[in-house]
Amino acid sequence: MKNIYKAILILLIASVLGSCSMMGMMNRSEPTSEKRQRKEVDINQFSILPIDDTFYTRPQIEGDKITYNIVAQKTKQEVSSGIKLNLYSYNGTVPGQEIRVKVGQQVEVNLKNELDQPVTIHWHGYPVPVDMDGVPGVTQNAVKPGESFQYSFTATVPGTYWYHSHYKSAEQVDLGLYGALIVEGDRQTELDRDYTFILDEMNSKGKAGPKGMMGSSNDDLFTVNGKSGDLISAYEIQTGENVRLRFINAGYITHYMNLGSIEYRVVAVDGQAVMDPQIIQNKLLPVGPGERYDVEFTAPDSSFFIREMINTPAADGLIIPLINRTSKKTLDETEYDGIFTLIGSGIATEYASLASNKYDQEYKMVLSHGMKGMGMIYTINGRTYPDIDPLDVKRGDIIKVTLESKDMMFDHPMHLHGHFFQVLSKDGSPVEDGAIFKDTLVVKPGEKYELAFIANNPGEWMFHCHDLNHASSGMMTSVLYDGYAIPSHIDQSQPSE
């Protein structure tokens, strides 16, 4: 009898929390279809703040080698007027120090841990050697308090990437352990301005960490570069300049950015350069968890705002001012007439298509969620990590993966370590515009995608949802190369999510 009552109780809890989560998802992760009363702001209230480099360490450059020293430590940071939060940081600030290198440089990052729990650095989207990937229990031992670890790799491909801890990442990333990795290529000299915007969500009560079943619905501060509201710095532009904006989403929901009435071009996705970028106007730019979008535009003869357009009051705190100091004009804000969609946009990245190849291996990953005991789990083919079969591959194989969401409640931004994959089809329709390569793809409820990648980076690589709460609750597997074994010195009992 007690078991019956327990089962009924679990079903009731799941139903109530599921409804709350669904409401949260509808209210938070989609832009409003109606004209929402927007916060009125004056461009003149914002100032162009100097970068506080007190926390930053200067990179050391010797020939082709560039070295950064990064310290994981606690910090207290004012994220909105009067709201100071206790956070984790790389080099004393959230986001952590931007690591900016050039293609061809040998990169060394010396991580020292001054926190009271282990940490790592994972290079999100970057094809580093497997022993540099930063996944505890798989590619390295977590860096314990008081210890150090040196990451070393060659910068081989340009683009916008980021780094974050992979040790209990649902907690540590939410507390601030993330930063930008920018690899400059040949086109860097064509830019007059180059700004990085890392998007995130925080809780004004300081309750960072795992979100549980409620997702991130309690996060009432939307931030850019660790600031919200009137603490957001303004960014300078001058008429006619070529400006690049690098959007990185370190949070848990898709952010929909309104660039006003300016004409912009998407020039890179997940670090991959776009061939023949097209002009876009009056369409929101959606940036999913873990994704990166680079846009460029010619600076207008006026100032303007970039606004978050999700239908929630927290969106009023994510307004990025771009100030033209030589002009007294401010662009009128226009209502958007759609959302930019990568699939079907005509965009192609600079890799040869894998669509016509015969595939050496094919796998299907069905994404869903359920209950286990009194908690929510997120599953791949009905199973949770580590009780899940890896994707077995051989070096040189061309692998096809079908991602199908049977989850009618949650988005699942799926991220593959160490490789770039091509999006072959969506919901049964081939992507015919050209080859689109990424490393993170948001799979919405009911969607189905086919992907392909070349197994060209031996090791064991995680493939998981980048809503890190979903990963920590089971939605994670790995790509395992034939003949590869985790080195014996690695403690495989350490948490890998």
Q: What is the pLDDT of residues 296-312, one digit of tens each?
A: 999 999 999 999 999 99
Q: Which residue has the higher pLDDT, 120 or 230?
A: 120
Question: How large is the average pLDDT for residues 471-480?
Answer: 97
User: In this structure, what are the phi and psi dihedrals at residue 6, rounded to the nearest 5 degrees?
Assistant: -65, -40
Digit-coded pLDDT (tens) for 337-383: 899 999 888 889 988 899 988 999 999 999 999 998 888 999 999 99
Q: pLDDT band at 207, cuts 50/70/90?
A: low
Q: Which residue has the higher pLDDT, 218 or 60?
A: 60
Residue 204 pLDDT > 70, yes or no?
yes
Digit-coded pLDDT (tens) for 337-350: 899 999 888 889 98
pLDDT score for 98: 96
Q: Do domains 60-183 and 361-481 have the same CATH topology?
A: yes
Q: What type of residue is 80?
A: S
Give the DSSP H or E segment for 414. Answer: strand 412-416
Q: Hey, CA dihedral for 51, 53, 57, 63, is it positive or negative?
A: positive
Overall CATH class of domain 361-481:
mainly beta
Distance CA 377, CA 353 (A): 35
pLDDT score for 215: 46
Residue 420 pLDDT > 50, yes or no?
yes
Indicate the average pLDDT of the chain.
90
Q: pLDDT band at 54, cuts 50/70/90?
A: low
The SS3 call for residue 129 is: coil
* Lowest mean pLDDT, pick from 109-123, 191-205, 423-437: 423-437
Q: What percentage of the chain exceeds 90 in pLDDT?
A: 77
Strands (E), 250-346: 255-258, 264-269, 272-275, 279-280, 285-287, 292-298, 304-308, 319-324
**Domain limits of the chain?**
60-183, 361-481
The SS3 call for residue 206 is: coil
Distance CA 217, CA 17 (A): 11
- CA trace torsion 447, 249, 349, 341 (10° rounding): 50
Digit-coded pLDDT (tens) for 258-292: 998 999 999 999 999 999 899 999 999 999 999 99
Residue 222 C-alpha from the chain's centroid: 15
Instruction: Tell me which fold the domain 60-183 belongs to.
Output: Immunoglobulin-like (2.60.40)
Residue 18 pLDDT > 50, yes or no?
no
pLDDT score for 36: 53
Residue 47 pLDDT > 80, yes or no?
no
Residue 441: closest CA among 266, 249, 253, 288: 288
Q: pLDDT band at 120, cuts 50/70/90?
A: very high
Q: pLDDT band at 161, cuts 50/70/90?
A: very high
Total length of the chain: 497
Distances (CA, A) of 193 to 66, 183, 299, 300: 23, 15, 10, 13
pLDDT score for 432: 79
Q: Which residue has the higher pLDDT, 153 or 218?
A: 153
Q: What percentage of the chain exceeds 70 in pLDDT?
A: 89
b/e map of 179-215 (b: 16 or more CB within 10 Å)?
Answer: bbbbbbeeeeeeeebbbbbbbbbbbbeeebeebebeb
Residue 4 pLDDT > 90, yes or no?
no
Tell how strand 421-426 and strand 448-454 pair up.
antiparallel
**DSSP string covering 225-237, please?**
TTB-GGGSPPEEE
Residue 252 C-alpha from the chain's centroid: 8
Question: How large is the average pLDDT for residues 63-71?
Answer: 97
pLDDT score for 29: 61
pLDDT score for 450: 97
